[in-house]
Amino acid sequence: MAISDRPTRARLPYVWDYDIDEATFDAMLAGEVSLGRLDRDWAVVRLIEYAPYDEIVQKLGFAALVNGWPRWRERVRSASIKRGLDFLIEWLPEHHPEYF
């Protein structure tokens, strides 16, 4: 099932520990909503650390991911995620400039 075919869930699995629904989380990703210290940067890092790759790309887009990665990189705990995104961030603009 593609992400776009999936019914909207009230709560996302990667924010299991907060009372944040999908609409609020998406608004946080867009920079429209902050809940105390939980802001766009927090939401993006949470997405990067816990969501599947296709969902990260669908919710953020390649351009936002490439542009924001230098700001978010140090907050990501997983070394393997950092390595993978470091590669993507370097490779993508060179091989797919149409995304920018």
- Look at residue 8 in the predicted model and tell me its pLDDT: 53
- Look at residue 55 in the predicted model and tell me its pLDDT: 96
The tally of CA atoms less than 13 A away on the side-chain side of residue 28 is 21
Tokens at 40, concatenated: 């766009």
CA distance 40 to 27: 8
Q: What is the pTM of this model?
A: 0.86
Give the CA distances from residue 84 to residues 10, 49, 76, in Å, rounded to whole numbers and listed in that order: 30, 12, 12
CA distance 31 to 25: 10
Indicate the domain borders of the chain.
11-99
State the Cα angle at 10 between 5 and 31, rounded to 5°: 90
> Would you put residue 61 in left (φ > 0), alpha (ψ -120 to 50) or beta?
left
pLDDT per residue over 68-90, tens digit each?
Answer: 999 999 999 999 999 999 999 99
- Look at residue 9 in the predicted model and tell me its pLDDT: 54
pLDDT per residue over 1-41, tens digit each?
Answer: 454 454 555 789 999 999 999 999 999 999 999 999 999 99
pLDDT per residue over 37-58, tens digit each?
Answer: 999 999 999 999 999 999 999 9
CA distance 78 to 52: 14
